[in-house]
Structure 1
Amino acid sequence: MDNGKPKILIVDDEKFYIDVLVDLLKDDYKTVVAKDGEQALRRAASDPPPDLILLDIMMEGMDGYEVCRRLKENPAVSEVPVIFLTVKSEVADELRGFELGATDYISKPMSPPIVRARVATHLELARARRELERQNVILEERVQERTAELERAKDVAIFCMASLAEARDNETGRHLLRTQNYVRVLAEKLQDHPRFEHFLNPRNIRLLYKTAPLHDIGKVGVPDRILLKPAKLDDDEWELMKKHTDYGHDALLRAEDELGTTDFLELARSMVLSHHEKWDGSGYPKGLKGDEIPIAGRLMALADVYDALISRRVYKEPYSHDDAVDMIREGSGKHFDPDIVDAFVALQTQFKEIAATYADQEAGASEAGMQ
């Protein structure tokens, strides 16, 4: 632009037509001329580029078709509208030009009113297209911002709801943060493993991270006399405690029935119900065995047990990290999926760092992870 005037590049190897077009357009536009194809490509690539190009087809050396082809290959000027100037009027010639990216034709000899009208029209169309693209970018940014706000609000709601369940059990919200991050690093470690790659894609890993805090949401249905008992549970009490997996699953299922199912709710329900299943089939609530246990439940099983082992309980002191690692190794093929145990052993330093980052300020009481 020059003082707000659109910039027009006029390309023709005949001085007569250049003079006619410059005289016709100079009052309303900044005009730049090129007398051959090579010069046209150089001047089109100037800063700023032209807003529109009037391009003769029949030129010595590089013809207008080739100039147009090269212009459209250059991302810096590919969107600049090109109007061909030609004495050709065959349909095949026009089709070739449009296929190369031209926006219009002006026939020679030229009619001044037609030249002015078509230049003005295509400049306005180009301006409108740029404005639409700009508005689309703004709209996309606003959509992304709004989506991020909704995601944050959902995450806060999930964490608050899960924290309420943990608070009844004298747990801290940091247990949720620890297990959430344990699950994430395990999933990322296993995402290329042949047994897990079908499920552990980036989207599902993100969902696992977000659903993990809900794994014990069913504790809200466990009576206080059991949940808050300041000692280890007896057998009858433990049977009632185990029902928290069903309570959580059924609550999420009711939410699906009322609000419609989502991948998030399905994955959360799977994790809630299955995170106390054991690889050898001795877990609960369904006694699932091996690959029958959903991957989400297998990942959370190890994360939850590790955190229970290293945490203080009313009936036990915390185990050291090294002791917890040894105990989980011993549970490979019995309590835990062996491949998940292998990933855990490889990641044990990261587990220790996560535990330190989200360490409890006060120790609380909770059910034992390996009862």
Structure 2
Amino acid sequence: MKVLVAESNQKHRDLLVQYLEEEQIQVLTAADGQKALEVWSNEDPKIIIMDINMPDMDGFSIIEEIRRRELDHTYIIVATEHEEVILGRSFDVGADDFISVPIRKTELIYRIKASEKVISNQENQTVIYALAQLTETRDIETGRHLERIGMYTKVIATELKNHPIYKEHVTSQFINHLTLSSVLHDIGKVGIEDAVLRKKGIYTDEERKTMQAHTIIGASTIDKVADKYPFMGFLKMASEIARYHHEKWDGTGYPEGLKGEDIPLSARIVAIADVFDALISERYYKPKYSFEESKRIILESSGKHFDPVIVEAFLKHEAEFYAIAHLD
């Protein structure tokens, strides 16, 4: 687990790094507020030890900005002398814990272990609660399909991280959460009856509406989990993906007919990964297409079904898509 030491005093910073590295903990550092936000955004540390008196941007402002932007909860420990005003404001803006200055190694390690336990418990509770939701329905997807979707989305998002349009939006944290969230894109299908879900022929209008409802069912299910565990911010992205991954760039998709950049970027990325995997896979309602045929369909859908920039990212990495598609 990564720990960011955001400390302006070099002597204090070096000592904290020494203490943590002696415990085999991966440490990131920042000496000012802007650098702290940059490292947090790019490296996605789960724990921050925060100096309140940071140059450029004080610790209070950094905490507020992190809480505004985070997708998942970052555990923040404020390092300060025991002053009630500082402690009170720290917790008001969103700090989780504090440690007294000067810092003793024993206390520091105990604080880190306690924070790791909190993070682990939150993650385990989320998984357990989600599984509990699924016990009332049934899962129809194969593990390999979901695994491939996660891999495809990571390839695309990593490419977009360097694109001038999306590079500020697609951070390391965004990529991590997208890879995790993407596997929940069709979770709503577990609430669709087999007579519709597995039908091989053409849907009636009523059956089509029933099938399309899996987007709403999925988002609603994830929202229930998110309400119970608000610190698990990646669930917001998962809900977006579940609801909007069948929207189309030209506005002809469902459930809301969103168009262009009104569709969340996460859903636009998953849309192309999901369609591509469906094309190259054999399904009960269709044979599998060749890689070249699948690629042709994706290209023809650029600007119609898919964001053209994301199609370009797909093309740049078609060799990786080919390798993932042919995993045993």
TM-based fold match above 0.5: yes
Letter in 1 for 2:147: L
Task: Report if aligned partners of 2:123, 2:232 keep a CA contact under 8 Å in 1.
Answer: no
Hey, what's the Cα distance between the residues in 1 that align with 2:104 and 2:163?
Answer: 45
- Per-residue CA deviation, residues 185-214 of structure 1 (Å, 9 max, x unaligned), is 111110121221232111111111111111
Is 1:337 paired with 2:307?
A: yes
Task: Flag the 1:163–1:150 CA change in 2: closer, same or farther, 3 A.
Answer: same
Task: Flag the 1:130–1:257 CA change in 2: closer, same or farther, 3 A.
Answer: closer
Which residue of the partner structure matches residue 326 of structure 1? 296
Hey, what's the Cα distance between the residues in 2 that align with 1:351 and 1:264?
Answer: 25
Task: Report if aligned partners of 1:212, 1:268 keep a CA contact under 8 Å in 2.
Answer: yes
Which residue of the partner structure matches residue 203 of structure 2? 233
Hey, what's the Cα distance between the residues in 2 that align with 1:224 and 1:309?
Answer: 21
Is 1:195 paired with 2:165?
A: yes
TM-score normalized with structure 1 length: 0.55
Hey, what's the Cα distance between the residues in 2 that align with 1:165 and 1:332?
Answer: 38
Task: Flag the 1:329–1:243 CA change in 2: closer, same or farther, 3 A.
Answer: same
Hey, what's the Cα distance between the residues in 2 that align with 1:349 and 1:164?
Answer: 38
Moved more, 286-295 or 152-161: 152-161
RMSD: 3.2
Q: Alpha-carbon deviation of 1:159?
A: 8.6
Q: Alpha-carbon deviation of 1:323?
A: 1.2
Hey, what's the Cα distance between the residues in 2 that align with 1:148 and 1:355?
Answer: 34
* 3-state SS, counterpart of residue 237 of structure 1: helix
Q: Alpha-carbon deviation of 1:154?
A: 6.4
Q: 5 Å matches for 1:266-345?
A: 266-345=236-315
- Per-residue CA deviation, residues 305-351 of structure 1 (Å, 9 max, x unaligned), is 00000010123210111111111011100000000000001111111
Letter in 1 for 2:289: Y
Hey, what's the Cα distance between the residues in 2 that align with 1:298 and 1:265?
Answer: 17
* 3-state SS, counterpart of residue 319 of structure 2: helix
Q: Alpha-carbon deviation of 1:228?
A: 2.7
Hey, what's the Cα distance between the residues in 1 that align with 2:157 and 2:178?
Answer: 8
Hey, what's the Cα distance between the residues in 2 that align with 1:147 and 1:355?
Answer: 37
Hey, what's the Cα distance between the residues in 2 that align with 1:317 and 1:258?
Answer: 41
Moved more, 303-312 or 260-269: 260-269
Letter in 2 for 1:323: E
* 3-state SS, counterpart of residue 178 of structure 1: helix
Task: Flag the 1:353–1:152 CA change in 2: closer, same or farther, 3 A.
Answer: farther
TM-score normalized with structure 2 length: 0.62
Is 1:185 paired with 2:155?
A: yes
Which residue of the partner structure matches residue 12 of structure 1? none
- Per-residue CA deviation, residues 234-269 of structure 1 (Å, 9 max, x unaligned), is 443122100110111222233344444752121111
Hey, what's the Cα distance between the residues in 2 that align with 1:222 and 1:155?
Answer: 23
Task: Report if aligned partners of 1:226, 1:241 keep a CA contact under 8 Å in 2.
Answer: yes
Task: Report if aligned partners of 1:158, 1:213 keep a CA contact under 8 Å in 2.
Answer: no
Identical aligned residues as a percent: 37
Task: Report if aligned partners of 2:129, 2:225 keep a CA contact under 8 Å in 1.
Answer: no
Unaligned runs of 5+ in 1: 1-71, 80-128, 360-371
Task: Flag the 1:131–1:249 CA change in 2: closer, same or farther, 3 A.
Answer: closer
Q: Alpha-carbon deviation of 1:150?
A: 4.5
Letter in 2 for 1:327: I
Which residue of the partner structure matches residue 44 of structure 2? none
- Per-residue CA deviation, residues 336-370 of structure 1 (Å, 9 max, x unaligned), is 0000000001111111222223x4xxxxxxxxxxx
Task: Report if aligned partners of 2:223, 2:239 keep a CA contact under 8 Å in 1.
Answer: yes
Name the larger-Rg structure.
Answer: 1
